[in-house]
Amino acid sequence: MNRTLRLSMYYLLAIVLVLLVWAATSWLLEATRGREILPTPWVTFAAAAANFGTLASAFGSSALRFLIALAVAFLLGLPLGLAVGFESKLDRYLSPLIYLLYPMPPVALLLFLYLAFGLGEVVRLVVVVMALFFQVVVAAQGAAKYVVPSHVTAVRSAGATRGQIYRHVVLPATLPSVLTAARVSVGLGITMLYIAETKLGLLLGPRAGLGRFIEYYTFRGDISLAGVVGLALLGLLFYAALELLERFFCRWKFVGARGGA
């Protein structure tokens, strides 16, 4: 059995297990409380099918928003993190600033972000980018600090420029850690996406994103829960995509490793 088929079976078994736990929890809550608290999977899927067009539009809006935010976070955060971690002077002066700003939750700045960017699409992107940006920066910075000096010396002795050192030594050495951190941060990013779409999308319709979809149908538990399932699938999609990127760009990491190709 090849690895792809085996991995697909594991995911299928995980989905079946989640559905069984979900159904059992729904029945237990209904039996103890005397009314439906948590809609069953089949009721939720029926509601999703009945509102498929709206749900699909919301999923597409959230997926595009998260993709753009993730790309921006990488384009801005990766070069900064590598430079701060690899260059001792930048590390000395910028690390305290990064460590000061990193724990600050973007949700605490919603009022100021709203005043700065309004209620348009930009502010929703900024909230998600802020959450992902520091994850990338800190991961790249930490990995760049521990690049093997002998590797740098070997490349430098061959006449490599500063840019070539970053390209052929620093980036390959740190990319696995950065992509792993990005996968871990998907959950945080999805959470911030939900907050941005609910708190900063009050005037929008249910097609504007999964967060807005869930809030719009607050009093229809089955439809709202379908949006929650959509968020979970969105997170799974990006997690799997980042893992595939890691396996493509960092193939050496998996050679001889458990589960490696």
Q: What is the pLDDT along the chain (261 residues), one digit of tens a residue?
A: 566 777 778 888 988 999 999 999 999 998 988 888 889 999 999 999 999 999 999 999 999 999 999 999 999 999 999 999 999 889 888 989 998 888 888 888 888 888 888 778 898 899 999 989 999 999 999 889 888 888 888 888 888 888 888 888 898 888 888 888 888 889 889 999 999 888 877 778 889 899 999 999 988 888 999 999 999 999 999 998 988 888 888 777 665 555 554
CATH number, domain containing residue 248: 1.10.3720.10
Residue 83 lies in a domain: yes
Residue 225 lies in a domain: yes
In the prediction, which pLDDT does 221 show? 86
In the prediction, which pLDDT does 261 show? 47
Instruction: Please tell me the distance from the alpha carbon of residue 80 to that of residue 73, in angstroms, as a whole number.
Output: 11
In the prediction, which pLDDT does 254 show? 64
Residue 112: both structure tokens together: 């100021």
In the prediction, which pLDDT does 258 show? 55
Please say whether the beta carbons of 74 and 243 come within 8 A. no
Q: What angle do CA 211, 216, 220 make, to 5 degrees?
A: 110
Domain that holds residue 83: 39-254
In the prediction, which pLDDT does 116 show? 86
Smallest Cα–Cα separation from 22: which of 165, 162, 210, 229?
A: 229
In the prediction, which pLDDT does 255 show? 59
Residue 145 lies in a domain: yes
Residue 134 lies in a domain: yes
Residue 261 lies in a domain: no
Residue 136: both structure tokens together: 């990338």
Q: How many domains does the chain have?
A: 1
Residue 159 lies in a domain: yes
- Cβ count within 10 A of residue 260: 12
